[in-house]
Amino acid sequence: MGLREYLRVAVRHRWLLAASVGLALIVALIVNVYSTPVYAARVTFFFSTPIAGASDLYPASMFNTSRLSTYAKLLTSDEVATPLAGTPGIDLDLEEVREAISAETVADTVMMEVSVEDRDPNRAMLLLTRVTQRFETAVEELERPTPAEPSTVKVTVVSGPALDEDPVYPNALNNFALAAVAGLVLGAVGSVGREVADQTVRTAEALQVLSSAPVLARVPMDPGGPFVSPSASARTEALREIRTQVQCAAAANSVKTLAVTSAVPGEGRSATACGLALLFAEAGQRVLVVDAELRHPRLAAFLGREDAAGLSTVLDGTARLEQVLQPWGAGLWLLASGRTPPNPSELLSSARMTELVDEVRRRFDVVIFDCPPLLPVTDAAVVAARADGTLLVVRARRTTSAQVTAAVRTLHAVNATLLGCVLNMVTHKGPDAVPNYDTYLAGPKPPRTDWGDWKMQAA
């Protein structure tokens, strides 16, 4: 995955990222509110060695620098910490005193900063004061060659002891910053994990690779209804694009009968078949739309026509084609499914079905079969094998890659001609959205007039 793909993943799962960061910030807020604050008192020591002349300055400086780590250890040794444990006002045992004291040398100097941390600011200040006194005495006693001679190291307090105004823990800003980073990391991991686990088809490029067939159009969702959309809507324009490409295929290879199917139910197959039929009729052609879904028919109910007789009654010989054709608008006829038979697959694969396909091919310019899904039953494969071409409708963000592959394999198994795929119900928002041309499709705006023209027209 390149940077562009990672950005698409981030946009696609932006709510997961936002939720992860929000949850992490809430945790940080709880920690900041309910954590007991810890205060720090600090003091800075300067170490010097008496020298007889300028020639002793550098050796004395190197001597003090090399011993700073020793002095840091001395702060928590028994020599300093033990006398302070349990004293009035401190009320801490030896281990607690040692844990409260920390030291850090100032780089390239002979200074050392000592801090004492405690939940009680007064106790932190008191303990640091006593540590300072005890430490100065301990260093000078340890660095005195003999009791009668002065100490070779002098300890001077150059800063403090002083108590920090704000507690060192919890640090609200640091906690919020760390929470935001942690939330982003967890959200990113979750987003990439979901993307890897998501096997649904989202883009036309992925669908084309899976099906080894062209994607004729990306059809967006239409809140106005799945079957009859406004003439200037993006969905209608996408269906017109499919119509144009089918017409081009028909000009090159005689394509008069078209099977519209899908891998599984709920992919917008019937809506696509009906919309295409309406647009072919709009172009001045005689169009027949056949509801070949004998198990769960839908077209008659959506188009407001009778479903008591239709394809099944023609195939079982109880009615003739002329008796069950129902006109719908100019240039469009409906052959409903009829009553549900006990043997749909056998009827659709019968010799009578072959004769019916030949008959409607002669009588109409375009015949569109609304077929059942390919994977649950074999009905659609039977009809697709008799049609001149097949359209495979795939619902974006729902149909899986495995389902598309299985559907294409089924069509190839019966030597059906796959003209192309339709990526249906594409979202209007997000990285996988259909480009928005609503402003252009809405038509030209009224010409602009200046204020003077408007006043003259109003007068």
The rounded distance, in Å, linking the Cα atoms of 440 and 312 is 45
The rounded distance, in Å, linking the Cα atoms of 381 and 409 is 10
User: Is it the case that residue 214 has pLDDT exceeding 90?
Assistant: yes
- Higher-pLDDT residue of 125 and 450 is 125
User: Is it the case that residue 167 has pLDDT exceeding 90?
Assistant: no
Q: Which domains does the chain have, with CATH numbers?
A: 3-35+171-196 (no CATH), 39-163 (3.30.70.1130), 200-441 (3.40.50.300)
Task: Give the pLDDT score at 458.
Answer: 36
User: Is it the case that residue 144 has pLDDT exceeding 90?
Assistant: no
Q: Above pLDDT 70, what percent of the chain?
A: 85
Q: Read off the pLDDT band of 89 (50, 70, 90).
A: confident
DSSP code per residue over 16-71: HHHHHHHHHHHHHHHHHHHSPPBEEEEEEEEEE---SSGGGHHHHHHHHHHTHHHH
Q: Above pLDDT 90, what percent of the chain?
A: 48
Q: pLDDT of 265-321, one tens digit each?
A: 999 999 999 999 999 999 999 999 999 999 999 999 888 899 989 999 999 999 999
Give the range with max mean pLDDT: 120-129, 214-223, 437-446: 120-129
User: Is it the case that residue 397 has pLDDT exceeding 80?
Assistant: yes
User: Is it the case that residue 440 has pLDDT exceeding 80?
Assistant: no
